[in-house]
Structure 1
Amino acid sequence: MNRIPGYLKNEFGNLSKISINDRNFNTILGDLEELIYYLNDIGEHSWIIPIIKNLFSKIHVYRSYGDAVTYIRKFISWSISRNRFEIAFEIYDFLEDLFLYQTDLGYDNILIELWVEACKKFVEMKEKKYLLLSIEKLNTHLKIPQTNAQLYHFFYTCNFLW
């Protein structure tokens, strides 16, 4: 609460008193999404990522992991359409952490595709800073392929990079 700007303290004062359960989950989900839009409108972007991460954890609890990933991915396009590239990159980074937690450290198509998607989005928007960061992340995940399918995927991805 101490890091919230003074003019928002009244708005956020009762957040800790809210309890989420099966009955009110959808309502609160909608309210939190509206809060993200409101924070964007008033220029308080630093709060959007923590709320998106919280949304992910709640959706994971009350629905499923897949629903949670799908739900927060929609904020990537939303943030890019509003030229909030830092938010989109942080969402990609958050998804990377989630996927890394669930995989071995070998060749991982999902992580590679995640960063290929990020590269494509940042190329389309001509956003060089986040494109370079995305390419760097992509290069870290491009390991030596072990199977024929991975080898094909590896060359496809390298072709995209070149």
Structure 2
Amino acid sequence: MTGQLPPDFDVDYQLTRLVRQVRARSLRNLATIHDDLDYSTFVLLLAIVDATTSSGGVRASDLADSLHVHKSTVSRAVRMLEDAGLVDRTPHPEDGRAHVLRASAEAVRRVDAYREDSHAALARVIEDWEPTELRTFAQLLARLNDAFGTE
């Protein structure tokens, strides 16, 4: 990028590059979780795994709301994840019309292994960064994420 562009454009450009690189790396490694997994379904699976480990599961409608996707998108992805043995759907204990999505133990194990490999790859990329650089970068990323959350 040239110095003639506005500073906010450089940030946007670099964030776009980063998102593309992270997505490409994720796509290359999705088969470690399941051969038929695509990126969108992967993102849903991560949310279901996180909900399973933190609160015992998640309703499909809540998942759609939190990820800002249509309920039909969640429904199709959940069907694939169920067929793959990665997600179970059980009746909601308080609302008989709804279901709770839970990641299987195998899905949790595979996602944990995927995350460990991903974190190790990131650690290799930033291994020569100073601790103060890492802290500052993490703080600025958190600040940016928080600002997007209020937009």
- The alignment's TM-score, normalised by the length of structure 1, stands at 0.31
Q: Structure 1 or 2: larger strand share?
A: 2
Q: Structure 1 or 2: larger helix share?
A: 1
